[in-house]
Amino acid sequence: MPLKEWIVHLPDGFDLLIRRDTLLGHWLDFAVVLRFNNECVTRFDCAHGFPHRDVLGRKSGLIRKEICSNLSTQEAFQHAIRDLTANYRVYYEFYARQ
């Protein structure tokens, strides 16, 4: 399946912007972005050649990268959707304070 993009609406006005790119069954790239009021709260992607979560703060910008060690790109993609769906409020509270 080639490049595919979609949005998952979460409660309380949050959205997940999801993008995945594959070629002949091989995962090339992905991004799962948690958004609230058109602001990126946090995101998982595999930019820089490895899957990770960018921990962001509203005032601080990029705080750190949490590497998804021991996960394949596809596993990290699935983890990202599960994690952001379950923890979006916690991530937003952190983002808003930073």
- Residue 2: the pLDDT is 83
Where along the chain do its domains lie? 4-97
pTM: 0.92
- Residue 1: the pLDDT is 60
- Residue 28: the pLDDT is 86
**Calpha distance 44→84 (Å, rounded):** 9
**Calpha distance 87→5 (Å, rounded):** 22
Q: Give the pLDDT of the chain (98 residues) as one tens digit per residue.
A: 689 999 999 999 999 999 999 888 888 899 999 999 999 999 999 988 899 999 999 999 999 999 998 999 999 999 999 999 999 999 999 999 99
Residue 8: how many other CB atoms lie within 10 Å: 13
- Residue 26: the pLDDT is 85
